[in-house]
Amino acid sequence: MTIRVMIADDQAMIREAFSVLLGAQPGIEVVGTAVDGLEAVAKAEELRPDVIVMDIRMPGLNGIDATRRITRQTDLPTKVLVLTTFDLDEYVYEALRAGAGGFLLKDASGVELAEAVRVVAAGDALLSPGITKRLIAEFSRLSGSARPPARVRIDVLTNRETEVLALVARGLSNAEIAEELVVAEQTVKTHMGSILQKLQLRDRTQVAVFAYETGLVVPGRTDL
C-alpha cells in the first residue's frame, strides 16, 4: 500500500529536497507541497494525504497551529510528522501536544526520513523512542511539577491497560511491552487499541504525552 505524503515547509530547497528523497523510496508517493501552515491545512483537506511532513516554524500559520487544525478534523485520517532543527526545540513538545505523530531532525537522511514517514503512517511505535521520551520528559519537568492524574479518564482503563500506557510513555515498543508483561504481542496491540478508544487519542505519541501531562508517569521514576 502506497503512503501518500505532503511536504509543508516555507523553504523551497527543503520542499524540493524532501520531495526528491521521498519520491525515490518504494511505497511512498509525494502528492503535494505547501509553503505555510494555511496552505497545509487547505491542501490536507483537498488531497487527504496519509502523512504531512510539517516544518514547525513557518510564517503566518505555524506548523503547531496547522497540526492542531488538521488533527482535530476527525474525518481526516492524515498524520503529521514535524520537522525541527534541534531535538530539544521548545516548540516540538507543543507540536506533540497538538497531535503530531512524531518528529524528525531536518538533517535526517533519505532513509531515515522514509522510515519516519512509515512509522508515523502505521502508528506502530513512537518515532525515535529514546529521543521522543527524553523530550517529553524534559518539557514535562520544565513546565512544573506533575499534576495529579486525571482520575476520571484513567479510571476507565483496566489495571493492565494502565500498565501498558505507562510503558508506552517510557518509549517501549509493542514487542518490548509484551516481554515486560509476559504476554503475547497481539495482546499488547489489543490493549493499545482499547486505550486509544477509551481516552479518545489518535496514536502512541498522544498516549505518551497524556501519561506525562496527567502525572501518571513522572520523569525519572520507573514506577507508576
pLDDT digits (tens, 9 = 90+) for 52-86: 999 988 888 999 999 999 988 878 889 999 888 76
Residues 33 and 92 in one domain: yes
Domains in the chain, number: 2
128 is a domain residue? no
pLDDT value at residue 69: 93
Let me know: does 67 contact 74? Beta carbons within 8 Å. no
Domain assignment of residue 184, given as a range:
140-213
Q: Which residues of the chain have pLDDT under 70?
A: 86-90, 124-153, 218-224
Residues 45 and 104 in one domain: yes
Residues 149 and 203 in one domain: yes
CATH code, 207: 1.10.10.10
Q: Which alpha helices (DSSP H) does 76-148 contain, by range? A: 90-97, 110-122, 129-142
pTM (2 d.p.): 0.72
- Residues 59, 67: Cα–Cα separation, whole Å: 14
